[in-house]
A and B are shown apart, each in its own frame.
Chain A
């Protein structure tokens, strides 16, 4: 079945460092891809999404590109802030059931001042 694999955390960075969180997926057809963020004690918020190959999703300085050839959707940010500390989830939804999300296990990011 469909699945999402994320790099294990925690990822610890200093403020203004470059961030990459790897995400790869297995799916039949052409899924939509998402990054969700969960701040401490809160629910999940959609960070960005991409719905077809080569699409780039971006928001709040984060970006990710839908790479069909490598089945990847890596999250990047050029300069992280302390306020970016959170858990990041990669997820996909299939074309014929786009109301259901399949999540990766999440990657915790800790940014130090």
Chain B
């Protein structure tokens, strides 16, 4: 049972570099989302998707892009990394509205 799988687990970037955080789920979940976790602030929603081909912005979308070409995958792209994007990123998924939301193990990103 893989569940929600995120890669990489740790990454250090230089300011201005781009990268993609990968997220995959093997539970045939329709809903997927990305959150960031910052000290003292809990988790905040970046982007979400309610199905393949459909994405929308969350609370803190600036500086991030997403796409959902398949049900299984929901990558998060940082176009030009900034130190303010240093955070822990969590991918999450759920089957449908009202079902339990499952989280990946997190990706620790540092931008220097």
A and B associate: yes
- Which residues of A approach B to under 8 Å, CB–CB? 4, 32, 36, 42-46, 49, 51, 89, 93, 97-106
Output the residue of A49, A97, A99, A104 with the most chain B CB within 10 A: A99
A43: chain B residues at CB < 8 Å are 4, 90, 103-106
Q: Can you list 18 contacts pairing A with B, beta carbon distance less than 8 Å?
A: A32-B98, A36-B103, A43-B104, A45-B103, A46-B100, A51-B98, A93-B101, A98-B97, A98-B98, A98-B99, A99-B31, A99-B50, A101-B43, A102-B45, A103-B43, A103-B44, A104-B42, A106-B42
Given contacts A101-B35, A105-B42, could you give 4 more A-B pairs where the C-beta distance is less than 8 Å? A93-B101, A98-B99, A102-B45, A103-B35
Given contacts A89-B43, A105-B41, A106-B42, contact A100 B58 (CB under 8 A): yes
**Inter-subunit contact B103/A99 (CB<8 Å):** no
Are the C-beta atoms of B33 and A99 separated by less than 8 Å? yes
**Residues of B with C-beta under 8 A to A36:** 103
Number of A-B contacts (CB under 8 A): 54
Q: Are A42 and B97 in contact (CB under 8 A)?
A: no
Q: Which residues of the partner chain A approach B58 to less than 8 Å between Cβ atoms? A: 100
Residues on B lying within 8 angstroms of A by beta carbon are 4, 31, 33, 35, 40-45, 48, 50, 58, 90, 92, 94, 97-106
Please determine whether A99 and B101 come into contact, CB atoms closer than 8 angstroms.
yes
The distance from the CB of B31 to the nearest CB of chain A, in whole angstroms, is: 4
Say how far B24's CB is from chain A's closest CB, in angstroms. 14
Of A44, A51, A101, A105, which contacts B45 at CB under 8 A? A101
In-complex Cβ contact of A46 among B42, B43, B101 (8 A): B101
Question: Which residue among B42, B92, B94 has the maximum number of chain A CB atoms within 10 Å of its CB?
Answer: B42
Task: List, in ascending order, chain A residues with CB within 8 A of B41's CB.
Answer: 105
CB closest residue in chain B, given A96: B97
Cα of A44 to Cα of B4 in the assembled complex, Å: 11
* Chain A positions within 8 Å of B102 at CB level: 46
Q: Is the CB of A100 within 8 A of B33?
A: yes
CA distance A42 to B99 in the complex (A): 22
B42 contacts A99, C-beta separation under 8 Å: no
Contact yes or no, B97 A99, CB < 8 A: yes
